[in-house]
Chains A and B, each alone.
Chain A
Amino acid sequence: MIEVSGLTKKYGKKYAVDGISFTVNKGEIVGLLGPNGAGKTTTMNMITGYISATAGTAKVGGHDILEEPDVVKGKIGYLPELPPLYLDMTVKDYLYFVFDLKKIGKKGFDKKKHVLEVADVVKITDVIERPIRNLSKGYKQRVGLAQALLGSPDVLILDEPTVGLDPKQIIEIRNLIEKLGKSHTIILSSHILSEVQAVCDRIIVIAKGKKVADAPTEELTANAVSSKDVIARIAGPSVDVMKAVEGLEGVRKISLSSQTGDDEAEYIIETDGTVDIKKPLFKLCADNNWYLLESKAPDMSLEDIFIQLTDRREEK
């Protein structure tokens, strides 16, 4: 559905995006993941034709954005990072305007009916008569999403769709994106791993304008979490605990990271990665009448993944 090859954007001598290539198949939800300033927005702006590429091509449904801009633009619904809203208009007038602007009537949609349908999908029906200026951030974001959904475009491109929303709204938008993914091809960007993990089939990681990884979500996160450390919180005499745990098969080292209570502490257990020690650890505690309060793999932050990925690239 979307083919990007060698896409490059240069500002002066600096590369904002440096030769990124990827394809997105019909019906996929793909996440562009990267820290701020990695080139996610620039990439999206080039695919949607907002800015032109210095080099490389972007095709949607086989049409090149440079050669047939109007065809490509007609196939894309774009929600930029800042939703493009006219604050002085009411939600309804705004959506009518976008309907006319994108010439959606020509696709055979009925204006009034279609706008109401889309408003229903993103749940803004109750504010449809209100001026956009007076809406909360969450509603504004949804109006922006409604704008992108008008005309039921084949491709949805969403730039940080949940940024600045409260947790409840984030979950709502996520569910909505998942639902939309059944009928649209979606690219969304984020700088939060759990964000893309939650909704995307595939994740493309971008750092400093370059693609550093492109893999199905499970694969990428599985790799990322294949850490050899286990963090465990155990209630029991710490000297005995450390001695006993060190005796387990596969454990290299145990260190006390913090005392969390009178008789309990958090330990970092380093293993050689050959066995999963969680079950033996549980049994060990049970046998000694200690309580295993918690055992988990350390949280992998986006930074850790980047370091891993970029290290791996350098090794090659």
Chain B
Amino acid sequence: MSAIFKREMKAYFTSPLGYIILAVFTVISSVVFVINNAGFNPFSGATAQYVQSNDLTMLYSTLLSVLIIAVPLLTMKLLSEEKKLGTDQLLITSPVGVLDIVLGKYFSAAAMYGMSLSVTLIFWVISATNSPSFDFGVATGNFVAVLLVGMVFIAIGLFISSLTESQLISALGTFVVMLLAMLMPTFASKISSTFVAKAVSALSVYDRYYNFTVGLFDLPAVVFYVSLISAFVFLTARVIEKRRYS
């Protein structure tokens, strides 16, 4: 597992991909921080109002939207490329279990993502030094929530990349699934049958996000996210395993 993890981490940085994802997170979170928290608004002209805020909720919910681009980029070639290059033959005929292979892949993408997200910790430092009322609880809640939601989608993206040999289809598939997941709360509110509406929102990844943003540690939500991650990692291993029998 560690060999695969190391290789994947290195692969993110031998291609521009790793740098692009890091740059996207850095630039977007910086822009949001400058406008929303530092109070510098270039759009309000010379009479800019320097309203300062130490609440990073806006910053993290913006990054939550960025995931829809970042996650497909992170996961698109994890397994699709292996099949295309024939390197899956090397992995499977090595004395390593399929689950180990999948976990190595998963953790590399998750680590790359965690690294990108950790860029935002610098804004904690800036906020905390400038304002004594900085709420670490809310910041932690937001960070953990975005991290968990991202990790769920990485597991789903990994699963989708195991289904195809094409990076493009893999990325598009992940994008569409994330888009649907994002729209799920909206769908749920439009459904008249309360039972179906409840069922849909029960499966929604985004609905569970909000409790964290006010600094609440929502254990059932954490369990939900971790279960989803495990389920998709397991399914991915099954897909690879099943290919050997077909």
Residues on A lying within 8 angstroms of B by beta carbon are 11, 45, 48-52, 69-71, 73-74, 76, 78, 80, 82-89, 93, 97-98, 100-103, 147
Q: Which residue of B lies closest to A93 (CB)?
A: B10
Q: Would A86 and B89 count as touching, CB distance under 8 A?
A: no
**B2 interfacial contact with A, CB 8 Å:** yes
**B93 interfacial contact with A, CB 8 Å:** yes
**B7 interfacial contact with A, CB 8 Å:** yes
* Inter-chain contacts of A74 with B (CB < 8 A): 95
Contact of A76 among B87, B93, B97 (CB under 8 A): B93
The number of chain B residues with a CB under 8 A from chain A is 25
CA distance A69 to B90 in the complex (A): 14
Q: Would A86 and B87 count as touching, CB distance under 8 A?
A: yes
Q: Would B91 and A101 count as touching, CB distance under 8 A?
A: yes
| 15 A-B pairs in the complex with CB atoms less than 8 angstroms apart | A49-B93, A70-B96, A76-B93, A80-B90, A84-B86, A84-B87, A84-B90, A85-B87, A88-B14, A89-B11, A97-B7, A100-B3, A100-B6, A102-B94, A103-B95
Q: Which residue of B lies closest to A157 (CB)?
A: B93
Q: Which residue of A lies closest to B101 (CB)?
A: A101
* Given A50-B89, A88-B14, A103-B96, 17 further pairs, Cβ under 8 A: A11-B246, A73-B93, A73-B94, A74-B95, A83-B86, A84-B86, A84-B88, A84-B89, A85-B87, A88-B15, A89-B7, A97-B3, A97-B7, A100-B3, A101-B91, A102-B94, A147-B90
**B92 interfacial contact with A, CB 8 Å:** yes
* Inter-chain contacts of B7 with A (CB < 8 A): 86, 89, 97
C-beta contact mask, B1-42 vs A, less than 8 Å → 1, else 0? 011101100110011000000000000000000000000000
Q: Would B90 and A98 count as touching, CB distance under 8 A?
A: yes
C-beta contact mask, B60-98 vs A, less than 8 Å → 1, else 0? 000000000000000000000000011111111111110
* Inter-chain contacts of B95 with A (CB < 8 A): 69-71, 73-74, 102-103
Q: Which residue of A lies closest to B1 (CB)?
A: A101
